[in-house]
Amino acid sequence: MALRKLIGKRASSAGTKGWDVKKAWAFLAVLGVLAIPAPPALGQAQAPSTQAASQQTTSQQTTTSQADAPKQESTPLYRVTVVARTTKAINYRHLSGATKIDFRGTILLPFAKGEAKVEGRKGAIRIQAQFEKLDSATRFGPEFLTYVLWAVSPEGRADNLGEIQIEGSKSKLDVTAQLQAFALIVTAEPYFAVTQPSEVVVLENIVRPDTMGSVEEIDAKFDLLQRSQYTYVQANAQPIADPRIPLGLQEARNAMAIAKASGAEHYAAESYQKASQLIAQAENYHEHKGDKKQLEMTAREAVQTAEDARAITVKRHEEERLAQERQAAADREARAKAMAEQAEKARLEAQLAAERAAREKAEAEAARLAAQAQQQAAQADAEKSRIAADLAARERAEAEVAKSAAQVQQQAAQADAERSRLAAAQAAAATAQAEADAEKARKSVRDAEAEKAALRAQLLNQLNSILQTQDTARGLIVNMSDVLFDTGSYTLKPGAREKLAKISGVLLSHPGLSMQIEGHTDSVGTDEFNQQLSERRSGMVRDFLVDQGVAASTITARGFGKTQPVATNDTAEGRQRNRRVDLVVNGADIDADATPGNSKSQ
């Protein structure tokens, strides 16, 4: 991923004693649980994460840790958002003696802390720093092995001051800086010799009340190398840092992997080969348990050489890109020139064609005028001949007028007579056709009524064969007596289910039919009980028919309680007749519409 260009802004003026530095640097804001316990088996575990929004969000990155060592695959460890942040930089230019500053952990390592003694010396600034509670850098991903202290100028320049080597959870560093005004940050890195800080910023300097120096804020920006630049290392990295392998050798391996991935084998072959030889020597020292000091020196030299090879590769990549851009510009210029030449050629050809067309147009106009003069002369001669002919024709016409007048009168009389005859014939034909159409319409109505009557009689016979059915103005009313239900219940008896199944078959064979299911009771019991019983019985019948495949939209169910008796409730026989469920079958197919009304059956 391309790095953002450095953007710096100097805010000092003549007579100003200090720098105001406002470092808008991108750091990783982690939401969720930041403490990441390390199980013994893996040494690293996933931390819960969420996505955080900020006022100046510019990109989003994800750092991963390996959760499956045998497959060497990465799993997400953090979900982070790049945000803008402000910190203080101090101008030590006029510092006499020493002063102290503190370090505060960022959200990535909130419990880390430290302090530094800053002392102005001739030509340089000495920094004696010590840090506490620095966890292993591998907690941010297997590609990170160490920490580096950086000095960042107001213009955005970042200088690598040195590697922070952890002893337990503490570390010390004694370095010098060539800058006079700068801020100090600590980042996790894949090896000590990096030339660009990563975005995994874990510590930043803060000003103490007793810090000496000019402290002001100005806008300053510097690049942070996004951790996605190292993600390819994760695929081949070990799940945890092996304590048996010296840190310097692990950093050398990382440096070689990063240089190789950048293309150093091709673009910086000599430096890459030298780095390969050095790391091979270091691996040999480690394998044969050689001198540790010699191994460390060789590994660090391999790191530096690999970083040089990577830097050369980056430079040559940029040179290639610039060369390609120059070639592309030259190609565009050549194409533009060729297009201009083609356009000029086309313009000249168009000009010649226009001149040729103008000449042809002039010649055609001259020929047209000559032809027009000849035509006018011929027209004059023709006009004279026409006048003479007109005189002769007029005389003949006057003679013919009298003859024609008599013939016209005769023909008009004949035409009037013919029109009268045709009108009378057409009127007679129209009358006959109207009578035929009316008879046909009456026959269609009789046929439709006959079909409906036949269907209604057929349905009456079919339903009567199942349950007692009456033909009424509302439709065919099928009577389900109380004996088809359990006593005092709305549960259908097996015999009732069998009869309803047959009725559903009849309804399914005639889709145009509809049914109103009406439940009734006798006067025994309360009105509320009778109403609920009648509704539940009608509802049970409706549900059974729907289960049998009858469309629910063609069935309605309603309970009337004891309000519509068909017999007296004073006798047992009358009450039994009143305890019923009427199935009212109707529809346009049998000339009976679904209309509410009393469904008393006789």
What residue segments make up the domains of the chain, in order of their start? 20-241, 456-590
More confident residue, 27 or 106: 106
Average pLDDT (152-180) is: 88
pLDDT interval class at 86 (50, 70, 90): low
On the question of pLDDT at 34 being above 70, the answer is: no
**pLDDT for res 218:** 42
On the question of pLDDT at 270 being above 80, the answer is: yes
Instruction: Extract the runs of DSSP E, i.e. beta strands, from 387-509.
Output: 469-472, 475-481
pLDDT interval class at 358 (50, 70, 90): very high
Window from 37-51, 79-93, 243-257, 549-563 with minimum mean pLDDT: 37-51
- To the nearest whole number, what is the mean pLDDT of the chain? 78
**pLDDT for res 602:** 43
Residue 94: count other Cβ atoms within 10 Å of its Cβ: 12
Supply 237's token pair. 């990295």
pLDDT interval class at 225 (50, 70, 90): low
Characterize 458-481 residue by residue with b for buried, 16 or more Cβ atoms within 10 angstroms of its Cβ, and e for exposed.
ebbebbeebbebbbbebbbbbbbe
Query: Distance (Å, rounded) from C-alpha 376 to C-alpha 386?
Result: 15
Q: Please name the fold of domain 456-590.
A: 60s Ribosomal Protein L30; Chain: A; (3.30.1330)
Window from 148-162, 227-241, 578-592 with minimum mean pLDDT: 227-241
On the question of pLDDT at 559 being above 90, the answer is: yes
On the question of pLDDT at 20 being above 50, the answer is: no
Percent above pLDDT 70 for the chain = 78
Query: Nearest 5 degrees, angle CA 31-CA 34-CA 37?
Result: 145
Average pLDDT (156-160) is: 88
On the question of pLDDT at 153 being above 90, the answer is: no
Average pLDDT (52-78) is: 34
Window from 40-54, 115-129, 193-207, 571-585 with minimum mean pLDDT: 40-54
**pLDDT for res 338:** 93
**pLDDT for res 558:** 93
**pLDDT for res 80:** 33
**pLDDT for res 17:** 35
Instruction: Extract the runs of DSSP E, i.e. beta strands, from 35-170.
Output: 60-68, 73-83, 89-91, 98-105, 113-121, 124-132, 146-152, 158-164
**pLDDT for res 44:** 34
pLDDT interval class at 427 (50, 70, 90): confident
Average pLDDT (82-93) is: 66
Average pLDDT (238-267) is: 80
Average pLDDT (384-407) is: 86
On the question of pLDDT at 184 being above 90, the answer is: yes
**pLDDT for res 391:** 87
Helix (H, G, I), strand (E, B) or coil at 49: coil
pLDDT tens digit string along 430-477?
888 888 888 888 888 887 888 888 888 888 898 888 888 988 888 899
Query: Distance (Å, rounded) from C-alpha 421 to C-alpha 439?
Result: 28
pLDDT interval class at 175 (50, 70, 90): very high
Residue 191: closest CA among 306, 352, 109:
306
On the question of pLDDT at 47 being above 50, the answer is: no
**pLDDT for res 265:** 85
